[in-house]
Chain A
Amino acid sequence: MNAVIRRILSGVVVLWAAATAAYLALLAAPGTTVDTIVGDGADTPEIRARIVAEWGLDRPEIVQYVSYLGRVAHGDLGRSYLLQRPVSDVVGAQLGPTLRLAVAAAGLGIVLALVLALTTRRPWARRVSSSAELVLVSTPPFLIGIVLLSVFSFRLGWFPVSGDKGIAALVLPALTLALPVAGVLTQVLRDGLDRALDEPFAVTARSRGLGESAVLVRHALRHALLPAIALAGWLFGVLLGGAVIIESVFGRPGLGSVTLLAVTSKDMPVVLAVVVLSATVYVVLNTVADLAYLVVDPRLRRS
């Protein structure tokens, strides 16, 4: 129980530090904080007065900071003065397309990785697959997207070039995002399988007369999946970061295009919200993954 509480507390501390880092970044910006928050949006005395009130800028610095933390903790992400809407509306409206893309890509990537890691056990297949993984991991995602677009949309005309209408428009972006993910996951899974097959339990299973593929799927795979759990946070970061680029390649709406627009027009409340939100999800995922370890592996509970 102690370990669980310690893990959750440390997650909270990391979240607080992340929110603080984002706040410090805002303070470090050149010009007054009001200038930074207005960005390229409408700049009138009324709006300035509203920013001062909302962020508590007329009060001592420590109060400003505490009021910011309080707002973030309540899930109030402020207001976009460029779009004249609360940030939670702006982000919420675009969450759907990005979530669909991320879930499709994660599913595709995990399935691809499982199939590749389990089927390429022979030395030559493993060499071919390892080289392919290296190339996939080393290729900029936008190049994968452009090549897929060029072949399947322009030459073959199988999929729409851009947009977010129906399943067909989701295939190429999801595949683009899934390929690098599959590259990394396959490497991790293969290492895990190799290690598990050397364990005594694999020998025991073989001695009971189990076939090699049954040992692989029923015994080794479970062990190989363990280290993959730890990658949940990483996977989320890759999917979200990749979505920013891939939504731009395929002209899809979503969190990525909102973020890009906010960065280029210096719409700080939106940028901060996306950054703090993504850090929150990352920390929560990592904490859950660590707790899952405690559930799955009783040996860890003792320390």
Chain B
Amino acid sequence: MVVRPGVAVAGGFLAVAALAVVWPSVLAGDPLRADPLHVLQAPSAAHWFGTDQLGRDVLDRVVHGARHSLAIGTAATLLAVLAGVLVGVLAGLSHRYADEALSRGIDALSAFPLILLALLFIAIAGTGTTSLIIAIGVATMPHYARVVRAQTFVVRRAGYVTQAVAFGDSRARLVLRHVLPNVLGPVPVLAMIGLGEAVLVAAGLSFLGMGPQPPSPEWGAMLSDGRGYLRIAWWASVLPGLVVTLTVVSLTVVGRHWQRRFEGRAAR
């Protein structure tokens, strides 16, 4: 399998981003250190991404911001996958009416535009990291639930499930040993591409002031802060935004590559 250069670059970027989430102090200095003598400085050798209105290094803030932005996206996606698999398997294995009820529930949830559903949740639970995670997790769950439900329908008719029933396996064993492992196939790939969307939505909600509160360095919030100085210092808002773009592009590129390989294997 030849790895295309674009995929390699995207993978490398994601590895650096993952390091920034786990151990940001290796890559960058203090994101909160203000330097009143060097405010809104253009990108230079000392400050690759320039400085913001308080003289804080923008690159340091972007690196530390990965922990907020990426961690929110990852946690929300994990939540969505867990809930989606649970609901999907349940719907796929239930009788017609229970399945119908669950499916219409999933439909209802996906009838709300993502951002509005998240905003409804935030209006009730308040702003902050936990709210964002749950809001985005719930709002993106229907996608996974649908796929897993469809997959469960295929698997429950498979020969090995019939055989396990004939052997008198218990319900729990049937679900855990035979159904679950076989419906999970497409989920990681979907989650990888879904993670990009979750990061985008998280940045959008933080941009609107619904996420981690200042002085936490979150990417969307940095853009929102820097926008007041757009006329004199474009780098304070545009560069953090480009990092979001780069992250989402990388996630999609790696996700699609993975998807192609996955489908290639499935076809053989």
Contact = CB atoms under 8 A, between A and B. Distances in A.
Interface string B229-256: 0110010011001101100110011000
Contacts of A249: 227
B212 to A, nearest CB: 16
Contacts of A14: 104, 107-108, 111
Interface stretch (A92-100, A103-111, A221-229, A262-270): A262-270
Given A29-B124, A245-B208, A240 B113 contact: yes
Contacts of A150: 230-231, 234, 238
Contacts of A147: 238, 241
B196 interface: yes
B115 interface: yes
B221 to A, nearest CB: 11
Contact of B220 (A140, A241, A263, A279): A140
B231 A154 contact: yes
Contacts of A149: 230
B252 A237 contact: no
Interface string B95-117: 00000000011011101111111
A294 B105 CA distance: 24
A134 B117 CA distance: 25
B203 A140 contact: yes
The interface residues of chain B, by DSSP majority, are classed as helix
B115 A241 contact: yes
Given A14-B104, A259-B116, A278-B116, A26 B124 contact: yes
Size category of the A interface is 35 or more
Given A147-B238, A282-B113, A25 B121 contact: yes
Interface in A270-291: 271-272, 274-275, 278-279, 282-283, 286
B196 A138 contact: yes
Contacts of B204: 140-142, 245
B124 to A, nearest CB: 4
The interface residues of chain A, by DSSP majority, are classed as helix
B136 to A, nearest CB: 12
B20 interface: no
A143 interface: yes
A147 B242 CA distance: 10
Given A147-B238, A259-B119, A283-B111, A140 B207 contact: yes
A275 B245 contact: no
A183 B222 CA distance: 26
A283 B109 CA distance: 11
B200 interface: yes
A28 B138 CA distance: 15
A282 B244 CA distance: 29
A126 B72 CA distance: 34
Nearest to B200: A140
Interface stretch (A15-23, A49-57, A65-73): A15-23
B66 interface: no
Give the interface centre of A143, A154, A275 by most chain B CB atoms within 10 Å: A143
Nearest to B196: A138
Interface in B195-218: 196, 200, 203-204, 207-210
A251 to B, nearest CB: 11
Interface string A1-43: 0000000001001110110111001101100000010000000
Contacts of B27: none
Interface string B123-140: 111000000000000000
Contact of A263 (B122, B230, B238): B122
Contacts of A240: 113, 116
B120 interface: yes
A143 B223 contact: yes
Given A17-B108, A278-B113, A28 B241 contact: no
A146 B241 contact: yes
A248 interface: yes
A300 B115 CA distance: 33
A135 interface: yes
Contact of A140 (B113, B117, B230, B245): B245
Contacts of A36: 124
A244 B115 contact: yes
Interface of B: 104-105, 107-109, 111-117, 119-125, 196, 200, 203-204, 207-210, 220, 223-224, 227, 230-231, 234, 237-238, 241-242, 244-245, 248-249, 252-253
